[in-house]
């Protein structure tokens, strides 16, 4: 157990780092408070520029035995998952013995093949070894989406109607453990997110847009989702993709979605003429 600069105890933290800037944001937050941090970086996935001089080791995505050994070696007490990891094909993974057993149990008990159950099983493996898995919001408390509009623009009545349809569609999609995002225009679902991710969904919807008022992107966490990992996330890249797809705004779940660089996100949205709003799925 280490202490921060105020003398308060802080558990040793290991970041299981996916893609994008979030691992770097966690590292910066730990450096600011004096918290001891170690990073397990995924080969071919983690962006090395965000690691800096932070102690770290590289592992293959399927190396669960090696990952757990590293957690023990660095005397980790808490673990946080940060950054997206696109699911590769099983043939491209270098699965070790523990990973093979985990995948076999997942396939046996989850015919739909959804990510959320697999991620929950991974958390269970870590907790069985005595590690505490924490949510990213415990380290970056301002990262969760707030309720209401973020920038200068608000949805009109047509957009709110599309948000309502999008929330109902996203809840249904999530209940099947398939995806977290949908695009809706004029009450029509133009596209749903599956394994391809939100950026690819938006790119696909460029050619599906109808004449008339633009549509919306809606992102919600899955019903019953493990909240410590893989929450829906948006950033300036999402705004650019939504703008390129001809959308008028983005709705995300307040308290259930992550916002990367809120000031930059608001600037990007205002410049693009898009609204961004945090909603409750039951009351969009």
Q: Indicate which CATH number applies to the domain containing 28.
A: 3.40.50.20
- Out of 82, 113, 138, a domain closes at 138
Q: Does any domain span residue 201?
A: yes
Residue position matching structure tokens 């590690």: 131
Q: Which of 155, 158, 174 is nearest to 226 (CA)?
A: 174
Domain that holds residue 153: 144-279
Same domain, yes or no, for 181 and 199?
Answer: yes
101 and 120 belong to one structural domain: yes
CA distances 55 to 13, 77, 89, Å, are 12, 16, 30
Over its length of 284 residues, how does the chain's per-residue pLDDT go in tens digits? 554 444 455 779 999 999 989 999 999 999 999 999 999 999 989 999 999 899 999 998 888 899 999 999 999 999 999 998 876 544 555 666 676 777 777 666 664 456 667 777 888 889 999 999 999 999 999 999 999 999 999 999 999 999 999 999 999 988 888 889 999 999 999 999 988 889 999 999 999 988 888 899 999 998 888 888 889 999 999 999 999 999 999 999 999 999 999 999 999 999 999 999 999 986 44
Residue carrying structure tokens 């202490």: 3
Domain with residue 173: its CATH number is 3.40.140.80
């Amino acid at each position: 157990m280490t202490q921060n600069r105020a003398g308060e105890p802080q558990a040793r933290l290991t970041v299981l780092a996916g893609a994008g800037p979030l691992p770097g944001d966690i590292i910066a937050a730990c450096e600011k408070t004096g918290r001891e941090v170690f990073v397990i970086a995924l080969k071919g996935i983690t962006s090395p520029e965000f690691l800096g001089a932070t102690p770290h080791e590289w592992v293959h995505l399927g190396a669960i035995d090696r990952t757990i050994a590293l957690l023990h070696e660095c005397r980790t007490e808490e673990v946080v998952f940060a950054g997206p990891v696109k699911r590769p094909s099983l043939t491209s993974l270098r699965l070790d013995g523990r990973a093979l057993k985990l995948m076999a149990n997942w396939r046996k008990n989850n015919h739909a093949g959804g990510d959320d159950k697999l991620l929950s099983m991974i958390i269970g493996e870590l907790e069985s070894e005595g590690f505490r898995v924490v949510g990213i919001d415990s380290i970056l408390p301002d990262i969760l989406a707030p309720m209401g509009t973020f920038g200068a623009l608000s949805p009109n009545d047509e957009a709110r109607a599309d948000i309502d349809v999008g929330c109902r569609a996203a809840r249904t999609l999530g209940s099947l453990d398939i995806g977290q995002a949908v695009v809706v225009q004029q009450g029509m679902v133009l596209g749903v997110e599956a394994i391809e991710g939100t950026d690819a969904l938006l790119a696909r919807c460029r050619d599906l847009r109808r004449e008339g008022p633009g549509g919306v992107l809606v992102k919600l966490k899955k019903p019953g989702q493990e909240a410590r990992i893989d929450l829906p996330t948006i950033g300036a890249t999402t705004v650019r993709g939504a703008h390129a797809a001809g959308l008028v705004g983005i709705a995300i779940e307040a308290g259930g979605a992550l916002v990367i660089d809120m000031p930059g996100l608001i600037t990007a949205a205002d410049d693009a003429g898009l609204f961004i709003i945090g909603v409750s799925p039951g009351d969009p």
